[in-house]
């Protein structure tokens, strides 16, 4: 098996490494970098717990090879905010009780972020539809939607001022 040279930026840090071709991005994040905030909730690429941002777009890190990420920019939940300085989307989830066990939360935060980049997708129906592919096994969707609504509202207000 050939080694693949990968230059990748993860949470603002540059990593340059020759890696095995069959390493999944999710495994690299969790086992090599110990960034265990990216969760693995299924083995069938369906649950969305492992969603991260790859060049500003949500992807399932369990279905992407590290080798495919050469010259790309990755943001995981560890790169979003810190305990004492949460990202706005994390704050919204905290304020609205947007999580129960929290397992699906990292993936959902990124879905919420990508949704916030799209104008004209603000209705509750659109939010719920956009969450297709993010499973909350506690079934706490009601407060997840509430959290995302509040985040989008705040973000749109800030954008209007700018």
Partner 1 sequence: MKKFNYHTPKNLNEGYELFKSCDFPQYLAGGMTILPSIKQGLASPSDLIDLSYINEMHGITEHTNSITLGGLTTHNEVAQSNIIINKVPGLASLASEIADNAVRNKGTLGGSICNADPAADYPAALIALNAKLTTNLREIHVKDFFLDMFETSLYEGEILKNITLSKVDYSCYKKFSSQASKYAIVGVFTSVNKKKVKVSITGASNKVFLLDELDNLYLDKAKEFNLDKINFNKYDINNDINASADYRVSLIKSLIKNSLKNLTHE
What residues line the site for partner 1 (CB under 8 A)?
1-2, 4, 20-24, 43-46, 48, 51, 54, 57-60, 62-65, 67-68, 70, 111, 114, 130, 132-134
Q: Which is nearer to partner 1, 134 or 147 (CB)?
A: 134
Q: Which is nearer to partner 1, 26 or 96 (CB)?
A: 26
Smallest distance from partner 1 to CB 31, Å:
13
For 20, 34, 48, 68, 69, the CA distances from 24, given in Å and listed in that order, are 10, 14, 15, 9, 10
Nearest to 114 by CA among 48, 41, 53: 53
Q: Which is nearer to partner 1, 1 or 83 (CB)?
A: 1
Smallest distance from partner 1 to CB 84, Å:
30
Nearest to 50 by CA among 13, 93, 105, 12: 105
Q: Which is nearer to partner 1, 105 or 111 (CB)?
A: 111
Smallest distance from partner 1 to CB 137, Å:
14
Q: Which is nearer to partner 1, 86 or 141 (CB)?
A: 141
Nearest to 74 by CA among 51, 92, 93, 90: 51
Smallest distance from partner 1 to CB 60, Å:
5
138 Ramachandran zone, left/alpha/beta (phi>0; psi -120 to 50):
alpha
Q: Are 59 and 51 in contact (CB under 8 A)?
A: yes
Smallest distance from partner 1 to CB 45, Å:
4
Q: Are 116 and 53 in contact (CB under 8 A)?
A: no
């Amino acid at each position: 098996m050939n080694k693949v040279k990968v230059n990748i930026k993860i949470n603002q840090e540059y990593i340059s490494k020759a890696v095995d071709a069959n390493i999944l991005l999710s495994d690299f994040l969790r086992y090599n970098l110990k960034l265990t905030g990216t969760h693995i909730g299924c083995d069938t690429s369906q649950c969305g717990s492992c969603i991260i941002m790859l060049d500003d777009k949500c992807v399932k890190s369990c279905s992407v090879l590290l080798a495919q990420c050469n010259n790309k920019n990755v943001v995981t939940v560890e790169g979003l905010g810190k305990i004492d300085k949460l990202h706005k989307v994390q704050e919204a989830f905290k304020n609205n009780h947007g999580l129960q066990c929290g397992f699906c939360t990292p993936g959902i935060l990124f879905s919420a972020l990508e949704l916030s980049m799209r104008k004209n997708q603000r209705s509750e129906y659109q939010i719920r539809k956009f969450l297709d592919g993010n499973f909350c096994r506690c079934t706490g969707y009601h407060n997840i939607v509430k959290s995302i609504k509040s985040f989008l509202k705040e973000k749109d207000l800030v954008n209007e001022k700018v």
